[in-house]
C-alpha cells in the first residue's frame, strides 16, 4: 500500500485580503505549495453555511456551500464588483484572525450588489445549476429567505403555517420573497462554480481533497425544516430527544450538541434514500470523505429534549453496517475515513473493521493517564496500516500546546517513548511529527499549526466553547521556504512523497 501524507487546514484559515480564507488565488497558491512539498492530501472542514458560533459542524444545510468562501476577486474579475467597493469594506484589522461579526455584516451586502448586477436569471449555466440541484436548492433558498424575513430566528419560531409548511404557505412565501430566494440561489451557484474550479485544479496537480461531514444536521437547518420525517420529532416538529456525548474524564456533564436524532427505522424502510443522496453528493464534491462521529452509526447517545446537560442521556442502537453495505451496493466502493474517536466500544471497533474504512489515530491521546485503557491504541507502534494518523485534529490542542498542558508524568512518558530527553521543548513538535510520519499508518495528516510549532492560542476549536473558535488564519509570509523545505524533508524521509506528481 502506498504511503502518503497531507495537511489539515480549513479553507477559512487561508491568507486573504478580505478577512477570511476563500476560493481565491491563495487557495490555488496553497495547492501549488502542497504539491511542491510532496503532499497528497488537503484535508478541510465542512463547507456548509454556518450559524451562531461559526461552527462548520452546525450548518444551515448539509448540501449548501458557505457564501463566505466565494472569492470577491473573482466577482471583481467578472465586473459585478469593483476593487474599490471591496477595499472600502471593514473585514477586520488582523491578518491572523477572523472577525466573524464583521464578515457577516459586511460581506453579504457586497454579494447582494454582485447579484443585483449579474442578470443571473438570464444565465444558462445558472439555469442548468438550479435545475440540477432543485431537489435541495429550492428548499434551502426559501429557508434562508424566510429566516431573513423573521430577523434570522430559528425556523421553530416562525409562524405556524410556514413553520409546518402548511397549505399555500410555501407558494405564498416563494412569491413574496422571490428576489431573496434567487439571491441565495445565486450565491450557491457562485460557490459551486468556484469550488469545482478549485477542485479541478487540485486534482490536475495531484492533490486530493479530504472532505468532512458531520453525522448529524443542525436543528435550525433547511434539512430538518423541509424533511421532519427523517428525525425524531413530534407532530409539531419539536424534538423528542437530541444528540450529544455522555460524561467522561474530559467533561463531567458530557456534551449537549442539540442536533435532532434520526429516525433510523424510517431510513431503513426507505432503503436509506436520504443518506444515499447525501453520500452521493459528497463523493462528487470530495476525493475522500471523513465521516464525523462514526460511532453514532453503531450506537448513538440520546438526551431528553430541553435537558441542560448530557447527564440523563442513554445509548440507542444505530443502523450499523447495513447503511454502508447498502451504500456500496448503490454507489460502489468509496474512499471513507471513519472518525472513530471518543468512547469506543468493541462493537464500534467491529463496525469499523466490517466497513473496511480506515479509522483515525491521534498521537495526543497516546499518553493520557485519564484514559489509560485505550491509550495504547494511539501509541504509534500499535498503528495498523489501514488507518489515518494525526498529531491532533481540529478539536484538539496544537501538539505544542498539548505538551505544555499535560502532567509531568505524561510528559516524562512521552519523552521516554521518543527516546528523547534533550530536545528543547520549543522544538519538540518536530519529534512528534516524525513519530507519526514513520508509523505504519498508510496516511498521515498533520495540522498546519503543528508543522509551524504554534501554541494553543492558534488552535482551531475548543469544544464546548463559543466565540473563540474557527478564527485562526495563516499570514502569507507564514508559508515560508524554510517551512516548505521542512515539510518536504520529513515527507521524503519516511517514504510519503506524492508519487503521482
Distance CA 54, CA 2 (A): 37
Which of 394, 403, 406 shows the shortest CA–CA distance to 426? Answer: 403
DSSP-assigned states of every residue in 133-173: THHHHHHHHHHHHHHHHTTT--GGGS-HHHHTT-TTHHHHH
Of 73, 139, 182, 292, the catalytic one is 292
Mind listing the pLDDT tens digit of every residue in the chain (501 residues)? Answer: 699 999 999 999 999 999 999 999 999 999 999 999 999 999 999 999 998 889 999 999 999 999 999 999 999 999 999 999 999 999 999 999 999 999 999 999 999 999 999 999 999 999 999 999 999 999 999 999 999 999 999 999 999 999 999 989 999 999 999 999 999 999 999 999 999 999 999 999 999 999 999 999 999 999 999 999 999 999 999 999 999 999 877 678 898 999 999 999 999 999 999 999 999 999 999 999 999 999 999 999 999 999 999 999 999 999 999 999 999 999 999 999 999 998 789 999 999 999 999 999 999 999 986 655 555 889 999 999 999 999 999 999 999 999 999 999 999 999 999 998 889 999 999 999 999 999 999 999 999 999 999 999 999 999 888 889 999 999 999 999 999 999 999 999 999 999 887
Listed in sequence order, the residues at least 6 apart from 290 whose beta carbon sits closer than 8 Å to its beta carbon are 43, 210, 211, 212, 213, 336, 337, 339
> Cα–chain-centroid distance for residue 390?
16
Q: What is the dihedral of CA 357, 362, 366, 371, to 10 degrees?
A: -80
Q: Which three cell numbers stand for residue 207?
A: 492533490
Give me the pLDDT at residue 465, please.
87
Distance CA 424, CA 422 (A): 6
Give me the pLDDT at residue 376, please.
85
pTM attached to this predicted model: 0.96
Q: What are phi and psi of 239, to 5 degrees?
A: -60, 145
Q: What is the dihedral of CA 416, 417, 422, 425, to 10 degrees?
A: -110
Region class of 345: left (phi > 0), else alpha (psi between -120 and 50), else beta: beta
**b/e 13-22 (16+ beta carbons within 10 angstroms → b):** bbbbebbbbb
Grouping H, G, I as helix, E, B as strand and the rest as coil, residue 472 is: strand
Distance CA 16, CA 107 (A): 13
Listed in sequence order, the residues at least 6 apart from 119 whose beta carbon sits closer than 8 Å to its beta carbon are none
Cross-strand bridge partners of residue 5: 444
Of the chain, the end-to-end C-alpha distance in Å amounts to 17
> What are the helix and strand counts (H, E) for the chain?
20, 12
**123 part of the active site:** no
H or E element at residue 224: helix 222-226
Please state the length of the chain: 501
Give me the pLDDT at residue 305, please.
96
Distance CA 7, CA 425 (A): 23
Of 73, 180, 223, 339, the catalytic one is 339
Cell 449579474, located at residue: 118
Give me the pLDDT at residue 374, please.
56
Give me the pLDDT at residue 232, please.
98
| DSSP 8-state class, residue 31 | H
**339 part of the active site:** yes
Q: Which three cell numbers stand for residue 408?
A: 509531568
Q: Do the Cβ atoms of 228 and 281 come closer than 8 Å? A: no
Q: Which three cell numbers stand for residue 37?
A: 512539498
Which of 127, 15, 120 shows the shortest CA–CA distance to 73? Answer: 15
Listed in sequence order, the residues at least 6 apart from 374 whose beta carbon sits closer than 8 Å to its beta carbon are 344, 365
> Cα–chain-centroid distance for residue 375?
26
Listed in sequence order, the residues at least 6 apart from 407 whose beta carbon sits closer than 8 Å to its beta carbon are 369
Cross-strand bridge partners of residue 360: 388
Of 123, 156, 161, 395, the catalytic one is 395
Give me the pLDDT at residue 420, please.
85
| DSSP 8-state class, residue 50 | B
Q: Do the Cβ atoms of 263 and 231 come closer than 8 Å? A: yes
**Number of Cβ within a 10 Å radius of residue 322:** 15
**234 part of the active site:** no
Give me the pLDDT at residue 298, please.
97
Which of 210, 260, 222, 256 shows the shortest CA–CA distance to 239? Answer: 260
307: exposed, middle or buried (C-beta count within 10 Å: 0-12, 13-18, 19+)? Answer: middle
Distance CA 326, CA 68 (A): 35
Amino acid at each position: 500500500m502506498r504511503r502518503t501524507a497531507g495537511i489539515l487546514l480549513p479553507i477559512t484559515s487561508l491568507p486573504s485580503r478580505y478577512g477570511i480564507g476563500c476560493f481565491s488565488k491563495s487557495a490555488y497558491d496553497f495547492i501549488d505549495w502542497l504539491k511542491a512539498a510532496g503532499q497528497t492530501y488537503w484535508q478541510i472542514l465542512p463547507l456548509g453555511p454556518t450559524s451562531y458560533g461559526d461552527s462548520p459542524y452546525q450548518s444551515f444545510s448539509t448540501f449548501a456551500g458557505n457564501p463566505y468562501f466565494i472569492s470577491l476577486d473573482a466577482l471583481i474579475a467578472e465586473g459585478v464588483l469593483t476593487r474599490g467597493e471591496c477595499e472600502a469594506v471593514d473585514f477586520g484589522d488582523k491578518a491572523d484572525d477572523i472577525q466573524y461579526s464583521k464578515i457577516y455584516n459586511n460581506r453579504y451586502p457586497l454579494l447582494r450588489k454582485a447579484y443585483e448586477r449579474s442578470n443571473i436569471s438570464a444565465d444558462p449555466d445558472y439555469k442548468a445549476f438550479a435545475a440540477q440541484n432543485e431537489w435541495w436548492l429550492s428548499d434551502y433558498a426559501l429557508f434562508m429567505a424566510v429566516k431573513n424575513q423573521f430577523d434570522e430566528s430559528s425556523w421553530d419560531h416562525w409562524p405556524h403555517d410556514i413553520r409546518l409548511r402548511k397549505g399555500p404557505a410555501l407558494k405564498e412565501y416563494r412569491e413574496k420573497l422571490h428576489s431573496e430566494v434567487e439571491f441565495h440561489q445565486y450565491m450557491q451557484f457562485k460557490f459551486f462554480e468556484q469550488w469545482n474550479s478549485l477542485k479541478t485544479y487540485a486534482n490536475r496537480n495531484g492533490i486530493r481533497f479530504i472532505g468532512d461531514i458531520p453525522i448529524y444536521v443542525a436543528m435550525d437547518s433547511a434539512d430538518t425544516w423541509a424533511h421532519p420525517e427523517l428525525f425524531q420529532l413530534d407532530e409539531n416538529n419539536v424534538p423528542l430527544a437530541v444528540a450529544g456525548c455522555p460524561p467522561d474524564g474530559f467533561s463531567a456533564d458530557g456534551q449537549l450538541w442539540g442536533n435532532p436524532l434520526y429516525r433510523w427505522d424510517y431510513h431503513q424502510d426507505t432503503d436509506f434514500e436520504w443518506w444515499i443522496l447525501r453520500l452521493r453528493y459528497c463523493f462528487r464534491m470530495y476525493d475522500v470523505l471523513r465521516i464525523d462521529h462514526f460511532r453514532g452509526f453503531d450506537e448513538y447517545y440520546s438526551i431528553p429534549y430541553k435537558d441542560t446537560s448530557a447527564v440523563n442521556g442513554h445509548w440507542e442502537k444505530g443502523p450499523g453496517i447495513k447503511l454502508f453495505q447498502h451504500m456500496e451496493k448503490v454507489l460502489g466502493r468509496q474512499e471513507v475515513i471513519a472518525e472513530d474517536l471518543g468512547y469506543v466500544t468493541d462493537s464500534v471497533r467491529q463496525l469499523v473493521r466490517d466497513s473496511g474504512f480506515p479509522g483515525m489515530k491521534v498521537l495526543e491521546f497516546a499518553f493520557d493517564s485519564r484514559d489509560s485503557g485505550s491509550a495504547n491504541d494511539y501509541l504509534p507502534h500499535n498503528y495498523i496500516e489501514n488507518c489515518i494518523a494525526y498529531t491532533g485534529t481540529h478539536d484538539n490542542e496544537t501538539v505544542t500546546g498539548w505538551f505544555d498542558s499535560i502532567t509531568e508524568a505524561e510528559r516524562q512518558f512521552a519523552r521516554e517513548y521518543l527516546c528523547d530527553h534533550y530536545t528543547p521543548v520549543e522544538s519538540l513538535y518536530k519529534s512528534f511529527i516524525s513519530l507519526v510520519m514513520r508509523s505504519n499508518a498508510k496516511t498521515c495528516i498533520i495540522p498546519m499549526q503543528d508543522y509551524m510549532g504554534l501554541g494553543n492560542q492558534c488552535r482551531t476549536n475548543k469544544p464546548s466553547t463559543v466565540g473563540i473558535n474557527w478564527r485562526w488564519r495563516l499570514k502569507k509570509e507564514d508559508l515560508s521556504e524554510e517551512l516548505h523545505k521542512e515539510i518536504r524533508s520529513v515527507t521524503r524521509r519516511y517514504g510519503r512523497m506524492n508519487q503521482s506528481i
